[in-house]
Amino acid sequence: MIYNICIVLSFLSTSVAFINTQILPTREFSKSLLFTQHNDKNENSRVDRFKEEAAKLRQEASEIEIALREEARVKGVSEEMINKLIPITRPRPRQTPKTASKTLQNAKENYTELSANTIRSKLGYLNTGDAIRMTSELERIKSNNIISKWNSKNFEDSRFMVSNYQLKAKTSIGPVNLKLDDVGFAYQNVLGVAVAIGTICGLSANAVGGELGFLLGYSSALFPVLLVGIGSIAPGLIGEALYRCKLVTNEEARKRHVRKNAGKFLTGYICGLPVATFIQGKPSNTVEFFQLRPGDVSDISGTGKVQEKRFRQIDIARISIVCLAGSVAECIDFGVASGSNPGDVNLLNELINSVGPTLTSDQIQNHIRWTALTAWEILDQYKEEYQRLVVAFEKGLPMEECIAVIEGEL
């Protein structure tokens, strides 16, 4: 009997020791774990709150910066002095592709499709010619989930390597169809016409005689010389005059003109470039963009133009796309470009020459093909928006209505 009692007491003492050494510490650890999780949750909520407050402060600072710059302009302060006194805000650290895709997904979830009229009423009137003000205003409107397509193209993973086969296979556009090496106008034909007119005037002078004959003879020499002089000093004037005459007399030229300008506007808007000039008119609106987004490079002077500094390929990617968007838009609708946009081709060459270190010939060709492919991808992705924009450009609608046409259904 005493032996059994000893066994029971020994068992109880062992159980108590087990509880003290194993069960109680485990309970204490569970309490500690719950307390830690609670603290982590509070810490995360505080971090989120701080991030929201920081975003609000950044927005307020941006608005104050815009207001100060505008006030300085009203008082007659030069743009150079404004940039020194109120420097452009440096860009925030770039997002990783994973973070950027997550942000884009959240924006799409929060965005509600609005009608074009509703978007137009919320846009107000945008200031062209001021890269910082226009960019900040459109970013603010986008943050309020009113627009979604502005600056929606991501260039972080761009490799700038596209072969002729890849371009042809995906777009059905051959590099030769872009007419980048055959731009301008047939000036030799103009010279031939000038010589013909001079010859006719000279022959008529002998037949008519008198004062009128003298004037005709004088014109026979003056007209070709004057035309050659203008062509050697400012050939663009003659080319522009010929192009305007062609728009009046040729229906296909008018259609190409409209689609070229609509394609440039759509790609520039999707890439997030601020508008430098927007001219309403017939047969089409015309648009020119700033060459850089404010804040894309740290020492931009505020003019939005490429200067002597060497840039990376990604810095000029947006405006390069705009330079070829007109030719690509023509190829989509007509199979081949007209080659009537020498200004865009010359600008593209200047942009490529501004890249440092200097690109090799193969890298230049890859950059041009990548630019054409990306322009085609934007126009193909936004087919319906592009067609609506063509109609808006034909009607000569204001820029704000053209943006509303891109962002919302009619």
The predicted model gives 383-402 an average pLDDT of 94
What is the pairing mode between strands 286-289 and 275-279? antiparallel
- The pLDDT assigned to 258 comes to 94
- Cis? peptide before 97, omega within 30° of 0: no
> Is the pLDDT at 355 greater than 80, yes or no?
yes
- In the numeric block, which tokens belong to residue 309? 């500094």
The rounded distance, in Å, linking the Cα atoms of 288 and 396 is: 15
The rounded distance, in Å, linking the Cα atoms of 38 and 392 is: 57
Let me know whether 269 and 222 are in one domain.
Answer: no
DSSP bridge pairs for 278: 287
Selection from 272, 278, 276, 275 nearest residue 296 by Cα: 272
The predicted model gives 262-268 an average pLDDT of 96
Let me know whether 152 and 257 are in one domain.
Answer: yes
Let me know whether 274 and 153 are in one domain.
Answer: yes
- The pLDDT assigned to 208 comes to 74
Is 379 in contact with 329 (CB distance < 8 Å)? yes
Is 406 in contact with 391 (CB distance < 8 Å)? no
Residue 294 φ/ψ, nearest 5 degrees? -55, 125
The predicted model gives 321-337 an average pLDDT of 93
**Position 62 confidence tier, pLDDT thresholds 50, 70, 90:** low
Least trusted range by pLDDT, from 275-289, 306-320, 382-396: 306-320
The predicted model gives 306-317 an average pLDDT of 77
Answer whether residue 224 is part of any domain.
Answer: yes
Domain boundary (244, 279, 313) is at 244
Provide, for the chain, the percentages of residues in helix, strand and coil under a 3-state DSSP scheme, each rounded to the nearest 5: 70, 5, 25
Answer whether residue 257 is part of any domain.
Answer: yes
Least trusted range by pLDDT, from 94-98, 197-201, 247-251: 94-98
Let me know whether 136 and 192 are in one domain.
Answer: no
Buried b (16+ CB within 10 A) or exposed e, 143-179: eeebbbbbbbbebeeeebebeeeebeeebebeeebbb
Residue 247 φ/ψ, nearest 5 degrees? -65, -30
Across the chain, what does the average pLDDT equal?
76
Answer whether residue 94 is part of any domain.
Answer: no
Let me know whether 208 and 347 are in one domain.
Answer: no
The whole domain housing 321 covers: 107-184+251-407
Is 146 in contact with 119 (CB distance < 8 Å)? yes
> Is the pLDDT at 82 greater than 90, yes or no?
no
Residue written as token pair 């990376």: 312
Answer whether residue 95 is part of any domain.
Answer: no
Q: H/E element holding 199? A: helix 187-208
The rounded distance, in Å, linking the Cα atoms of 359 and 371 is: 15
Radius of gyration of the chain (CA): 33
Let me know whether 282 and 327 are in one domain.
Answer: yes
Let me know whether 55 and 117 are in one domain.
Answer: no
Answer whether residue 149 is part of any domain.
Answer: yes
Is 315 in contact with 296 (CB distance < 8 Å)? yes
Answer whether residue 100 is part of any domain.
Answer: no
Amino acid at 189: N
Answer whether residue 359 is part of any domain.
Answer: yes
The predicted model gives 287-299 an average pLDDT of 76
Let me know whether 214 and 83 are in one domain.
Answer: no
Total count of domains within the chain: 3
Is 288 in contact with 238 (CB distance < 8 Å)? no
DSSP one-letter code for 307 = -
> Is the pLDDT at 370 greater than 90, yes or no?
yes
Looking from the CA of 328 toward its CB, the CA atoms found within 13 Å total 31
Let me know whether 115 and 206 are in one domain.
Answer: no
- The pLDDT assigned to 309 comes to 58
Domain boundary (23, 58, 87) is at 87
The rounded distance, in Å, linking the Cα atoms of 275 and 403 is: 12
Let me know whether 147 and 268 are in one domain.
Answer: yes
Amino acid at 335: G
DSSP bridge pairs for 277: 288
**Position 58 confidence tier, pLDDT thresholds 50, 70, 90:** confident
Global confidence as pTM: 0.67
The rounded distance, in Å, linking the Cα atoms of 258 and 185 is: 19
